[in-house]
Structure 1
C-alpha cells in the first residue's frame, strides 16, 4: 500500500497527482484517451489525492476529471482551485488568465467547478493566487462560507507567504498550502514550511522534479511555443548551461541510491518533513508509475546532506519565475 499522509482532515497517498499537465502549460494537451488512461492508472496504483484547478485548460482539466473519475468519487480526495481562471474580457471568445479573489467571483467559480467535476462537494479548495486588490481575509472568508454551505470541505492557499497564511488562518482554518518546492526551489524553507507546521496545515509541493529538470533530459530550445517554461529564467540560455552542470553529480547520486533521478527528487521531499506531500504531474502512465515508486526509496542523512549541498538557492542559476509571475505571488524570496 502506498505511504499515507494527512492532507488537512483527510488521509491520502503521500504522493498525489497534479492534473495540470494533461491539458495545460507544457505544450499541447495530451490526447483525451491517454489522459483517461493516466487518471485511471493513478487510481488503480493507489493515488488518492488528485489536484486540479479552474485555470487548467480553462476548465478542461476539471471536465476530464469529472468525466473519468466521477464514478469513482468515493475512492479519492479531490482538490481544486479558484481565484485564477480564464475570462473573456473582449467578448470575442478568447479567454485570458485573470486573478480575481472577490467573494462573488469565488462563489461563481466554485459552482462552475462543481458542474465540471460532476460532484456535489470539493474536498479541498485552494485560493490559487491571492488577489492583492482584495484583503486575503475577504477571499478566505468567502471560502469559509462555501464550507458552511456544503460546497467544499476544507480551505487551502497557494503561493503565499507565512504572514499571509497566518492572516488567512485567523479568518478561517487553513488545511493546506500549495507552493513550488524542490531541490532547486527552496523558498518554502524561509518561513512557510514552519508556519504550516505551527498551524497544523499540510504543505503540498508542486513541481517536485523541478519542472522536469531533475527527471528527464530536456532541451529548452525544443519546448512548444506555449510551454510556460519558455518564460522562466532558469530555462533561458543565460542560465540553462550553468544549471545543466548540476545534473551529472545529481544523476550519480540517484544511481548510488538505486533509483531514478525523478524518484530521488520526490523521495528527498518525503524525507524532509512528515507534513510535506509531493505533487508531481505527468501525461504519461510510465512516468506516473515511476514517480509513485519514490515512496519506497530510502535516503540516508549523508545522501540528504550531499543532495542539498549540490542543488540549492546558491548553486541554481536564475529566478524561478519571470518578473510578471513574481509580482503575482506572495511567497518569500532569498536575499
Structure 2
C-alpha cells in the first residue's frame, strides 16, 4: 500500500480507501459486528481512508465508524464524511438537498458528535444545492476549516465549472464521483480539471456497484431491500447486455491471474496517482480480495485491450433512476 497526497492541503492517505455505506444500508441486511471486523482488518491492510456520510442509515453509519475509530485509533485514519442530502425523518426515501451556510455548520456539528471526534479530515458537500450558490456553501465550509473542525473541503458529483468556482473561494482537496469501467463520465472534463488544480479525485463504486466482481449473475441475486433492483443498469435487457461485458472482463482477468474485481480496481488506479478508489464492502473476504488489486500490474497493452471492450459508453442504462440523475454533474 502506498500513501499519497490527497489534494494540496497536506492530507496524506492510502491509495485505496474503503466505502462504508453498504455496512448500514442499501445493500441488504447489516451486521455491525462483522463490519467492525472489516474496519479493523482494513487498517492491518493499510487501508486507512474511510468514507461515510450522514445520510447513510440515515446517521447510523457515522455512529458505526465512530465506534471503529475507538478500536483502531482515531489518529490512524483519514476520515471522510458528507452532508447535504437531507432525508425525511418519517420517510427516509424522501430526500432534499441543503447546502445553505446555516445547514453547513449544523450538519458538521452533528457529524462530529455522531463520529465522536474533534475534527473531520475531509468534509464533502454530498450534492450541490440548486438553491444555494456554490460560493456560499464553500464559504461556510471554509469557516469550518478556520474553526479547526475539518481539514479539507470536498465536493461530490459536481461539474468542472462548479469545481472551478468553488476552488476560487477555498482550495478544494477532493472531488468524489462515481468512476469505474462502466461509469466513465468524469473523463469528459472533471478528471482533467482535478489534475490541473491539484485536486484529488475519489472514485466511488469503482466496482460498478458489485457488477464488475463477476459475482452477480441474475437479477434474483439481489435481496428484496437491495436498491440495485431499482437501478436501470440492473434491469431487463440492460442487465443481460452489461453481464456480457463483465464476461469479457473475466476473460482478461483470468489471463492476468487475478479476479475481475482486482482487474477493475487496478484499472481505476492506473488512470492517475491523484485518483483514489474507495470500494465498499462489509465482508472480510472481499476486503482482502480488493487489497489484492495492488499487486496487479497493467501494461499499456492490457489497458488498450480493456478499453476496447469497456469503452466510455459501453455500459447500458443510466446509473441512477431519472429523478436522481438530475443532481449529478451539477
What is the TM-score when the length of structure 1 is the normalising length?
A: 0.94
**Corresponding residue for 1:52?**
52
**Corresponding residue for 2:264?**
265
What does residue range 89-238 of structure 1 map to in structure 2 within 5 Å? 93-95=90-92, 96-218=94-216, 219-238=218-237
CA distance, structure 1, for counterparts of residue 242 and residue 253 of structure 2: 17
Q: How far did residue 45 of structure 1 move?
A: 1.4
CA distance, structure 1, for counterparts of residue 205 and residue 42 of structure 2: 17
For the residue of structure 1 that corresponds to 2:270, the secondary structure is helix
For the residue of structure 1 that corresponds to 2:58, the secondary structure is helix
Query: How big is each residue's C-alpha offset from its partner over 1:256-279, in whole Å with a ceiling of 9 and x where there is no partner?
Result: 111111100000011111110111
Task: Indicate conservation of the 8 Å contact 2:214/2:247, yes or no.
Answer: no
Task: Indicate conservation of the 8 Å contact 1:182/1:208, yes or no.
Answer: yes
Q: How far did residue 94 of structure 1 move?
A: 4.2
Q: Is the deviation greater in 309-318 or in 98-107?
A: 309-318
Query: How big is each residue's C-alpha offset from its partner over 1:79-123, in whole Å with a ceiling of 9 and x where there is no partner?
Result: 0001113332xxxx4444321111111211111100111100000
Structure 2 residue 320 is matched with structure 1 residue 328: no
Q: After the TM superposition, which segments of 4 or more aligned residues of structure 1 sit over 4 Å from their partners?
A: none
For the residue of structure 2 that corresponds to 1:101, the secondary structure is coil
CA distance, structure 2, for counterparts of residue 126 and residue 170 of structure 1: 17
Task: Indicate conservation of the 8 Å contact 1:3/1:295, yes or no.
Answer: no
Task: Indicate conservation of the 8 Å contact 2:214/2:250, yes or no.
Answer: no
Task: Indicate conservation of the 8 Å contact 2:212/2:261, yes or no.
Answer: yes
Query: How big is each residue's C-alpha offset from its partner over 1:29-60, in whole Å with a ceiling of 9 and x where there is no partner?
Result: x2111111111111121111011000111111
For the residue of structure 2 that corresponds to 1:132, the secondary structure is coil
Q: Which runs of 5+ in 1 are unaligned?
A: none
Query: How big is each residue's C-alpha offset from its partner over 1:203-243, in whole Å with a ceiling of 9 and x where there is no partner?
Result: 00011111111113213233223322222211011311111
- Aligned pairs, number: 325
CA distance, structure 2, for counterparts of residue 38 and residue 177 of structure 1: 25
Q: Which runs of 5+ in 2 are unaligned?
A: none
For the residue of structure 2 that corresponds to 1:272, the secondary structure is coil
**Corresponding residue for 1:31?**
31
For the residue of structure 1 that corresponds to 2:46, the secondary structure is coil
For the residue of structure 1 that corresponds to 2:74, the secondary structure is helix
Q: Is the deviation greater in 311-320 or in 113-122?
A: 311-320
Distance 1:240 1:94, change over 3 A: closer
CA distance, structure 1, for counterparts of residue 207 and residue 68 of structure 2: 26
What is the TM-score when the length of structure 2 is the normalising length?
A: 0.95
**Corresponding residue for 2:42?**
42
- Alignment RMSD: 1.3
For the residue of structure 1 that corresponds to 2:155, the secondary structure is strand
CA distance, structure 1, for counterparts of residue 281 and residue 202 of structure 2: 16
For the residue of structure 2 that corresponds to 1:119, the secondary structure is coil
CA distance, structure 2, for counterparts of residue 215 and residue 119 of structure 1: 34
**Corresponding residue for 2:11?**
10
